[in-house]
Chains A and B, each alone.
Chain A
C-alpha cells in the first residue's frame, strides 16, 4: 500500500513562529501536493511539486513556502504563522497509476 506520512497529527504554534509541516511518501511518486481543508471551502491547493527542487504555486500560496530536496519528502513552511492559518493541512502524492494518495492530515492551531 502507498503510504503518505505527515509527521504531526496536531500542532499548536504561536503567532509569528516559523512552522514546518513534513510529508513523506514511500512509493517513489513524482508529484506531491499540499492542500488546506476548511469547513465549507473544501480542499484548496497551496503548492505542488512535480520533481525534486521544483515547486509551483497553487490557488492560495500567500504566507506559505515549500521545499523538496528529496523525491520522497515535501515540506510546507509557514514563514510567520498567523491565526488565519489555523486549519487542517493535507499532503498528497500521485503517480499515473495510483492517482492521489493523501496523508491523514495535520491539524494546526495558531494562537
Chain B
C-alpha cells in the first residue's frame, strides 16, 4: 500500500525527442505527487509536483499527467536535451505537500543522446 512503482528503469532518448516516465500507486490517501531530478554527485531536487484535483500540470518542457481513477501519473519531457540526462524519481505523500514523509519510486535513469 505504501509502494510507488515506476517504469522504465532506464531510458535512452534522442535529443529533441519526448521522454516519458510512468508511475503508479496503491494508497488512495496519497494526495501530493512530486517528481525529483538527481544529477550524479548531487541530492535529488524537486522538479515539478501535482495534486489530484488536476489532471495535468505543465512547467516549461516538463508536464505531469495524472489519472486519479487508474492511480497512475507520468512525467513527459518535451524536446529532451542532453542536460536533462539524470535520474528521475516519482514520489507520493499525504497532507497535500512534501512536508511530511515522502515515498519514492525506484527511479529512472534518463540518457539523452545528441
Contact = CB atoms under 8 A, between A and B. Distances in A.
| Size bracket, chain B contacts | 20 to 34
User: Helix, strand, loop or mixed for chain B's interface?
Assistant: loop
B101 A33 contact: yes
Interface in A55-80: 58-59
Contacts of B42: 104-105
A99 B106 contact: no
Contacts, number: 55
Contacts of B2: 59
Interface of A: 4, 31, 33, 35, 40-45, 48, 58-59, 90, 92, 94-96, 99-100, 102-105
11 contacts: A33-B101, A40-B9, A40-B106, A42-B104, A45-B101, A48-B101, A92-B43, A95-B99, A99-B49, A102-B44, A105-B41
